[in-house]
Amino acid sequence: MELRCWEYKYRQACFARRQQRIAVSLELRKAKKDEQALKRRNLTNVSPDPQQTKGDSLTLQEIISGVNASDPELCFQATQAARKMLSREKNPPLKLIVDAGLIPRLVELLKSSLHPRLQFEAAWALTNIASGATELTRAVVDGGAIQPLVELLSSPHMTVCEQAVWALGNIAGDGPEFRDNVISSDAIPHLLTLVSSSIPVPFLRNIAWTLSNLCRNKNPYPSDHAVKQMLPALFYLLGHPDREVLSDTCWALSYLTDGCDARIGQVVDTGVLPRLVELMSSSELNVLTPSLRTVGNIVTGTDHQTQLALDAGILSVLPQLLTHPRSSIQKEAAWALSNVAAGPRQHIQQLIACGALPPLVAVLKNGEFKVQKEAVWTVANFTTGGSVDQLIQLVQAGVLEPLINLLTIPDNKIVIIILDVLFFILQAAEKISQKENMCLLIEGLGGLDRIEALQLHENHQVALTALNIIERHFSEEEETVTALPARDQDHKFLKDLTNTYHCCTTPKPGPRP
């Protein structure tokens, strides 16, 4: 009864783990938005058009007067001067321009269809303002910029259209409120009409990035209708050769799969998995990271969704990624494997068959702690759902030694998980009447001493879990229990295992307090 309760609790914990997302999200979009806008401004201002430098020396008051002038040329020069002020590499005066009350006029200039150069400069100025803090983005939204920017997506002038895309991307990237404002203004259909093979790559990068911002943020998620509109375009963009287009497309898919099973299903049903697996082998970190994150999200879904990922070949790539030079990639790969291991036994068997255990043990031994933690979760899920035979293969792969060594870490949660794993392995050994050999193996690796020491741990749960192992598996009473005869094949299996560790001559553990 005690064992069944423990298994139930542990399975519940694994279920929760399976639904968990990585807490540390990469704050790419807002940060990248600022970085990209600054880079583009810098590049543009390196070699300015000699005929367009007249307004560069205008004061703020002259800019305010000029922007509000009725003369289109004077208005253009002042608007361009404002845009250049906002394009400074360091400390652009975004708030100064907002406080000067220029946003309503800049929004009005977006509608000047007879003056596309003026539309372009006004859109660019608003783009830069929206790249700032939320209160500055709100000023652009409250100034009524979204609808005229959406209308500019149909402009016959490509530069104007592209700048409107960028501005909307900055607004949508600020958070779910402004994202939904952009979506409700019917921006998505206009954006999608721009996606074609004939569009210049820099423009397509902007579109992919803006689409990713329209997919981003969870509280709330973008509407189902919006997601269904964007998915065919994202599937198309996933086949593009440009790495920046691929990167932002994969990030978009990672945001859409960071949710419930139904949302994961929407993405999986488009058929993106084979291409995502292909991109997981990319040498470009900005493509590898989001493609791996997306696949990691997918395998947090149902067993069927995980099986589709397995069928697409993720296990041909994940073990290799455990040896990637970047620890962040190792961590993501271990996290994905932990969710595969949380599935049924056939998934665990595929994990064994693909050769994942040796690199998993290697990161448990030598990886950075953040990677080791994910690897511990993989082992925990494995031991919870695996068969006795599968658990023995895990032990044969050398998992006990690094687990025992990790019992000294200062992370109580991970220590408890490791203790639970050891408890479960001992229970499995008991089922085939080989618990004594497993106890010898654990003691020979220094495990018994460390488990005993943990009985005095300051954390009550750690101490209680350690005490439970000692009383249940290493106590004097347990040693007197008559074991049932082992099946020949299991006995041989465990004998081979103990030979692997050279622990057969280890003294039998004595009475424990």
Picking from 158, 185, 212, the residue at the C-terminal end of a domain is: 185
Distance from C-alpha of 488 to C-alpha of 452, rounded to nearest angstrom: 33
> Residue 137: inside a domain, yes or no?
yes
DSSP 364-388: HHHS-HHHHHHHHHHHHHHHHH--H
Picking from 130, 163, 185, the residue at the C-terminal end of a domain is: 185
Given this model, what pLDDT does residue 243 score? 97
**Which pTM was predicted?**
0.85
Given this model, what pLDDT does residue 322 score? 98
Distance from C-alpha of 510 to C-alpha of 73, rounded to nearest angstrom: 95
> Residue 270: inside a domain, yes or no?
no
User: For residue 483, which of 441, 446, 440, 429 has the smallest C-alpha distance?
Assistant: 429
Given this model, what pLDDT does residue 89 score? 84
> Residue 287: inside a domain, yes or no?
no
Q: Which residue has the tokens 């993106």?
A: 272
Distance from C-alpha of 478 to C-alpha of 471, rounded to nearest angstrom: 8
Distance from C-alpha of 10 to C-alpha of 1, rounded to nearest angstrom: 14
pLDDT digits (tens, 9 = 90+) for 385-407: 999 999 999 999 999 999 999 99
> Residue 254: inside a domain, yes or no?
no
Q: Which domain holds residue 431?
A: 351-474
Domains: count for the chain: 2
Picking from 185, 212, 237, the residue at the C-terminal end of a domain is: 185
Q: Residues 385, 345: contact at Cβ < 8 Å?
A: yes
> Residue 121: inside a domain, yes or no?
yes
> Residue 235: inside a domain, yes or no?
no
Q: What is the DSSP letter of 343?
A: S
Q: What distance lies between CA 133 and its chain's CA centroid?
A: 24
Phi and psi dihedrals of 356, rounded to 5? -80, -25
Given this model, what pLDDT does residue 207 score? 97
Burial of 240 (0-12, 13-18, 19+ CB in 10 A): middle
Which residue positions in the chain have pLDDT lower than 70? 1-56, 476-513
User: For residue 504, which of 448, 440, 455, 435 has the smallest C-alpha distance?
Assistant: 440
Which CATH number fits the domain that encloses residue 120? 1.25.10.10
> Residue 52: inside a domain, yes or no?
no
User: For residue 328, which of 18, 19, 25, 35 has the smallest C-alpha distance?
Assistant: 25
Given this model, what pLDDT does residue 276 score? 98
> Residue 335: inside a domain, yes or no?
no
